[in-house]
Amino acid sequence: FWLKCVVAQIWVSTCGHHRSITRVVRNWGAHPQEGEVGPPSTMEERMSQLVGGEASGGEGKGFKGLKGKGFMKGKGKGDFMKGKSKGDGDMAAAALAKGKGKMKGEEQMMTMQAPAQQQVVYQRQSRNAGIHTIEIYVPQFWFEQTEMEEYDARPDRYGPSVIGKYTKGIGQIQARFNTDDEDPVSFCMTVVHRLLERIEEKGFNETGRYQPDGNALGIYHAVGRIDVGTESIVDRSKSMKSYVMDIFERYGDGESNIEGVDQYNACYGGQAAGLAVLSWVESDRWDGRYGIAVASDIAEAHPFFIAFVGAATTASLFFPDAPLAHHSQRATCIMHRLDFCKPVGWHDMAPVTDGKYSVECYLDALDACYKTLRKKVNDRELFQLTDYNVFHTGGGYHIVKKAFERMLRNERPECRGSERDELTAVRLHPSCHILKRVGPCHTVSSFLNTASVAMSQMQEALGKVIMVFTYGSGCAASMYQLRVDDIAYFDPLEVWFLKRFYRNSIKMYPGDAHPIHMVFVETWMKFEYKPFGRQTHGQDLNLLEDDVYYLGEIDKFGRRFYHRGGLKARPLDKKYELPADTAEGRPTRKHWGPLPEAKKAIEDVSKSDEARRRQIEYDMTFDHEAEEGNFVEIGEFNDTYQKEQKVRILKPLPDRKQHGTTIEPDGQSHSYQIVGTWSSRTPVDMEQTSDVSWYFDFTLGENRWEEFYLLQDGDPQRRIYPHEAKGSKESVAVGPHDAGPSNHWFIDCRDRVDVPEEQLGMPGDRYRITFRWKKLKEVSWQKLEGEKGEVEPSRYSVAGSWTDFELQELRPETGRRRGWHSTEVQMTSLGLEFRIVRNEDFGQSIYPIPAKKEERSCGKNAAVCGPDALASTYWKVDGILGGIYKLKFYRDPEDCESTGMRVDWTKVDDRPVVEVEPTYYLVGPFNEWGQKDMRKMRHPPNDLSLFEGEVEVKEMVDEKATEKRKFMMPFKIVQHKMPTRCVHPDKDRCSQLTDHKVVMDDKGKDLSWYIGLHPTDKAKEGDVFTVKLQIAPSGEMSVSWSKS
């Protein structure tokens, strides 16, 4: 045994694993008796690949092994694992072997060479696969079982005999249930999205260990398989897993390469999903990504059986080197039984069941799995091999306890009284903490109970084994073992109860519980349905959880539509919208009514609204760069514990200047201007009504929305703006200030769920904006009822590739109905890519929605979006060089929605190609790599082959250098503002002295020049360098720079 441990340690160190030796040895399972066939060990499978070098050896008996008298056994002298050796075993680890085993004669067996470098190979790399964490979701509503007993003890229900039945009899403490705005599908979407966000937040994404470049995959691309297990399907064809994929498609840029569908079976579907995902992770088709097994079910209950309700969902994360590794053998029992079923077309959501017979089938399956597993482990007692027991929860804790006691009688029939109670407390009770507070939840229960063990025991469970028995009526059951190799990614149970389980929960009195739950039960076979349970039963919609998916509608075809945050949440951000939303006519949040009126939260009396507003303004105006000037650097030192890390020590100056103070009225006379979309963002004076009040009236344009900010004394450096993007009346006014974000107040007068009724308006309606500054700054607006104004005609331009995306006017067409605009352009080598801009304002861009998110350009049939500031795509004309194309744009003057717009083009002529003179632009951190603007390079007089531009050096963090902070500035060059024509070096971090080539293509994302990287640049803070791009007659390019 100890020799085996030594070789195991060699194996561990060679593989690069850092788990304990106990983990490796226990993974081999029970030692087979001499003469018996046991499972092949990891050592036997991998020895030839993982162990290298020569080790001196001598005489000895070696290891016991498979058949025969010994594994690697011999009496010959020589080097261990090498040379000539004699032995009676069936394998002699030698290059030449003689003996009575299966391999006789001088046959070459295996050559052991230490690999020069361990390479990442996907196939067959998975070891100790199992569960890394389990995300749990339970609905908000719950009740106390003691109160339920009192309620059911009334004469009109069960009477006094029910007292103690649910608590002492069944063993339950509480129960969880839902209403009609949640179902098993919404449960699945919630638990998977929460799991992904927790991985991201806690930083335990380990996919980089199995990627060739060592970098972890983005979380929405880090999952390779998802299986959903349930007995509560909502569609006989469309899988619940496909609903979950909506998350990856929206947030993962169209990610769809994720295997798996649904596993459907009463109470066992979740376990089937778990075993399917485990098999994938252990297979040679595993690709280095996570597997997720989702179990989702609702144990619905009619009014007279509400005590037996339960609902939960789990998402179990499978990956190699798991804290909860699947261990040793497992057993399964599947038989044809009719104890429980839900026939197609059955009139009720509830099952057809024989309760007593179902318990008998449960215990029969337990006996069958127990006998099979004992046989597989050489008839050893399972209590000797395991430390904790997890059982499927049928009707409650009493079923679990009954199963445990039955197994205990099989193992130790003499066990009685206090000894039995002690074993129950130590081995069973750790698995029951959650189920007692949730109730029966079908296919979820085994994962829920496993999580209970992990969270309640934490480090106490290290090195121990959990035996899990899971069962589903009909019937199907499995028994397997989990080895606790590490502390899994869980919060301790008490912390989880506070953070997740009870934090947003809603306690219900039993008399109120069954009516609101019954609304869900009655959704069975419903079509053209919108949930109403919470509203009807007086539940505040503001209590909906922000990160939970809720059912929004079931349409006339039975299709279901969900929204994260439910009716409490605003519509989904446009960047997450999918082409399929429009193509399939999916109803969304805007179709389900207005946002609920927010109730004012009870704020801390120690912090008034004025103090809160002042704090926000302080934070918004705090100048971090200027604040650095208040400190002097003492020096840079090595960190005490991490020697490779440098620490800068700063000392505050005695005459330290304050930054970020709240701007107060200065008592001087000032004028105020308003900069809004109605005037193409040109400042217009506001009218003064008193010393502290100003106003401005405007006419609503055809967008039916406007945005604005304010200026003091017409000075662009003295902006007044809201603390948040698209500010409302409640937003905090910040300023006058010369920095900060480019926020605007947003007046939306369209028919939207978050727009108040009194704010709705049509083009031509008049509105008044009022600014007051007495003590705190206030900005508000109101509709001037009955007043009308003349709508200023919109002007439209096209921003296209042939003009470096500068604006070219679209002229209104005569002879056609009002709303058509057009222009003619020629096809050149630059192509024809364009978008439409309203009133020369790029914040009002009109652009196409691509069929796939990764696409940058679209044809004329793409859906139209805008006007807004979110444009990132273009229309693209496919044609021949020299062709003249007429670009046409139509907007219905009576329709503010994007559905009232159309873009089209036709070829009208052919002419000789007139190519555009090349232009070049500098991009870098100084303009967010071209996102803000692009810095155009100019010709010096009389030299058309040279382009020049200026770049200013700043102090920046250099993660790849020993000295982390340097005065430098990276940059690259773009031709015609087109990312596909990026001028860059063929190496990253190039200085002028680096040997490199200058190329122009679309592969320069991570390749830049760095001014100040080389000491010869002598760069300092604020230095301005002139960058020169020289183009030879042959087309060869060179880039250089010097101080201006």
Q: How far is CA 571 from CA 533, 594, 729, 755, in A?
A: 21, 11, 20, 12
Beta strand pairing status for 174-177 and 141-144? antiparallel
Catalytic residue among 132, 193, 327, 392: 392
DSSP state of 1007: -
CA distances from 117 to 122, 127, 285, 405 (A): 16, 19, 23, 53
Alpha-carbon distances, residue 993 vs 103, 362, 971, 996, 1009 (angstroms): 65, 77, 16, 9, 11
φ, ψ (nearest 5 deg) of residue 24: -70, -45
List phi, psi (to 5°) of 139. -65, 165
Computed on alpha carbons and rounded to an integer, the radius of gyration of the chain in Å comes to 36
**Four-residue CA torsion sign, 600, 606, 607, 609:** positive
Cβ neighbors of 745 (< 8 A, separation 6 or more) are: 707, 708, 709, 721, 722, 726, 727, 728, 731, 779
Q: Which residues, 6 or more positions from 815, have their beta carbon under 8 angstroms from its beta carbon?
A: none
Greatest C-alpha distance within the chain = 111
Quickly tell me which residue has 């344009």 as its tokens: 701
Q: Given 144, 149, 267, 327, which residue is catalytic? A: 267
One of 231, 577, 702, 706 is an active-site residue; which one? 231
Q: Residue 309 and residue 515: Cα distance in Å, rounded? A: 13
Q: How many CB atoms lie within 10 A of CB 663?
A: 19
Q: Are 696 and 769 in contact (CB under 8 A)?
A: yes
Q: Could you confirm whether 737 is annotated as catalytic? A: no
Residue 79's CB: how many other CB atoms inside 10 A?
Answer: 13
* CA quadruple 981, 985, 991, 996: dihedral sign: negative
Name the H helices within 350-488: 355-376, 382-385, 397-411, 417-423, 435-438, 445-457
> Which ranges of 892-989 does DSSP label H, i.e. alpha helix?
none
Cα 69 from chain centre: 55
How far does CA 49 lie from the centroid of its chain? Answer: 38
Residue 653: burial class (beta carbons within 10 Å; 0-12, 13-18, 19+): exposed
- Torsion from C-alpha of 113, 114, 118, 122, nearest 10 degrees: 40
263: tokens are 């596993």
Give the HSE-up count for residue 25: Cα atoms under 13 Å, Cβ half-sphere.
14
CA angle centred on 710, ends 706 and 711, rounded to 5°: 145
| Stated length of the chain | 1044
Annotated catalytic residue 785: no
Q: Which of 620, 770, 636, 787 is nearest to 700 (CA)?
A: 787
Question: How many C-beta atoms surround the C-beta of residue 910 within 10 A?
Answer: 14
The Cα-based distances of 316 to 143, 534, 611 in angstroms read 27, 30, 45
Q: How far apart are the first and last CA of the chain?
A: 76
- 14: enclosing H helix or E strand: helix 2-15
Count helices and strands in the chain by DSSP H and E runs: 19, 52
H/E element, 310: strand 310-319
Question: What are the residue numbers of the active site?
Answer: 231, 267, 392
